[in-house]
Amino acid sequence: MSELRRNNLSLVEAVGQSVCSLSPTFTPALGVAVVGGMAGANSWLVYLLATISVTIVGINIAKLAKRIPAAGSFFLYVSRTLGPSWGLLSGWAMLAAYLFTAVALTVATSIFFKDFFGAIGVKIMPPDFVIYIAVSALIFVLAYRDVKLSTRFGLTLEALSVGAIIVVCFLIWKSVGFKIDMAQVHLSGASFGTIAPPIVFAIFSWVGFESAATLSKEIRNPEVVVPRAIVATAIVVGVFFVATTVIIAMGFHDDAGKLGASAAPLSDVAAASNLGGMVVTFIYFAAMISCFACSLGQLTAFARMLFSLGRYEFVHRSMGAVHEKHATPYFAVAVGTVLNAVLCIAFARAGETNLVGYFGTIATFGFIFVYLLCSIAAPVLLYREGNLTAGTVILGALGAVSMALAFFGSVYPVPAVPYNYFPWGFLAYMLAGAVWFFVLKTRAPKVLQGIEHDLESLGTIEAATTPLSALGVGAE
């Protein structure tokens, strides 16, 4: 049976996967409007708290990635520490998280595609569904052919777009005489009710920062490279988010209503600062390529997760197929890109800006669930190894508590419709996964026995990809 190509990727590709999967440009170009609509002048604080939380979680994930370098990443991290049942549920959660994030960013790509071409004078735009299909098809081509190509291509796009945003923010700040916004400094109007609810969507700005771990089997020296890529991405991107949010909120005079209503916050501030139409057009272009790169990164991670679950036969074994020539999980890639296009088209009537917020929020619950489990799993694994320290326990507890609080903040105070329904929709999705787990446990117990045997008896890398048939077990 064909396998993923080992020792194929370096630190550059690992960072590329993580950076592409979170699309740094998306936040100042569009995502900050959701957070700013709730927090106003305190939006920077929301992103600062999210940076701290995500970095702590990143450190916990890095401890696991160092010891379990495998394609299944979170599924295997949790399975080896908390048991196969929690591991399979974490894999189930990450499937939705990666897919829904890809949907949100595909829609965002469409938004900025039309903004960009409209700004350069193109009057006739293709229908939205054509853009969704075209984006999904291009993602399939890149992810199907070569993961090195897709990660380097995405990282190049992100480097260009982030550089553009930094220049634009500097020019905006210069236009106001480099002044300091005292309302932000003094946390004007700050309260739990204004800070807690938007933290969930703020965390969405980082989702995928850990996805370098999904390429562990293909990365050279993954025990060192993957942890570095994860933690560095969390911190550097967090600084970028806080700084750009300060500039954008100041440009809107800290007006939460106006910021929340903006379909392109950074572009609106640039236009109001008289920076010229070319700058605004450039922002649209940077955001478009960044959002596309993020969709590519998310669906690459989705395919690796689906591949691992297919190899363990939690989903159909065909998902574990690998292309003989390209050494990519081509069937899982195809499924992900088709689902991406279908979901974008199916919910198009809700409006594109709304879809970004809707799918982004739901996706975040999946990441929060798995980040919480990983924060618990890290100290458990080190305890079993005899390497547990007080620092590991503290970081694990802080990571778990911060994720629990993020989820709590999404349900209380009760957010506006339809965001108040999303936490319960995610719980329903997880319940469906739990039901399938118990069905599998009853109808095909050898599958779960195979997972337990695989995790306990094989080496870490081999454990990620050995089909059950090689162990003498399988579904009945």
- Per-residue pLDDT averaged across 156-180, rounded? 86
Tell whether the model's pLDDT for residue 116 goes beyond 80.
yes
**Rounded distance, CA 270 to CA 423, Å?**
35
Tell whether the model's pLDDT for residue 282 goes beyond 90.
no
**pTM score above 0.75:** yes
Identify the pLDDT of residue 29.
83
Residue among 430, 320, 378 nearest 85 (CA):
430
Tell whether the model's pLDDT for residue 223 goes beyond 70.
yes
Number of other residues whose CB lies within 10 A of the CB of residue 431:
10
> Over the stretch 131-158, which tens digit does the pLDDT of each residue have?
999 999 999 988 877 666 667 777 787 7
Residues in the chain: 476
CB 232 within 8 A of CB 51: no
- Per-residue pLDDT averaged across 237-250, rounded? 93
> Which residue, chain included where needed, has tokens 């370096």?
10
The token duo for 6 is 């080992």
What are 219's strand-pairing partners?
Answer: 9
- Per-residue pLDDT averaged across 173-199, rounded? 84
**Rounded distance, CA 236 to CA 463, Å?**
32
Tell whether the model's pLDDT for residue 94 goes beyond 80.
yes
337: left (phi over 0), alpha (psi -120 to 50) or beta: alpha
Number of other residues whose CB lies within 10 A of the CB of residue 166:
14
> Over the stretch 397-418, which tens digit does the pLDDT of each residue have?
999 998 888 788 777 777 778 8
- Per-residue pLDDT averaged across 311-329, rounded? 73
> Over the stretch 328-342, which tens digit does the pLDDT of each residue have?
788 899 999 999 999
> Which residue, chain included where needed, has tokens 């379909």?
263
Identify the pLDDT of residue 237.
92
> Over the stretch 420-465, which tens digit does the pLDDT of each residue have?
889 899 999 999 999 988 887 787 776 666 565 555 444 443 443 4
Give the CA dihedral 235, 241, 243, 244, nearest 10 degrees. Answer: 150
The token duo for 169 is 């923010």
What are 457's strand-pairing partners?
Answer: none
DSSP letter string over 386-440?
T---HHHHHHHHHHHHHHHHHHHHHHSSPPPTTTTTHHHHHHHHHHHHHHHHHHH
- Per-residue pLDDT averaged across 84-88, rounded? 83
**Rounded distance, CA 132 to CA 107, Å?**
7
Rounded to the nearest 10 degrees, the angle between the axes of helix 192-204 and helix 390-411 is: 110
* Element of type H or E holding 76: helix 74-82
Identify the pLDDT of residue 359.
92
Identify the pLDDT of residue 283.
85
CB 92 within 8 A of CB 369: no
> Over the stretch 30-62, which tens digit does the pLDDT of each residue have?
878 888 888 888 999 999 999 999 999 999 999
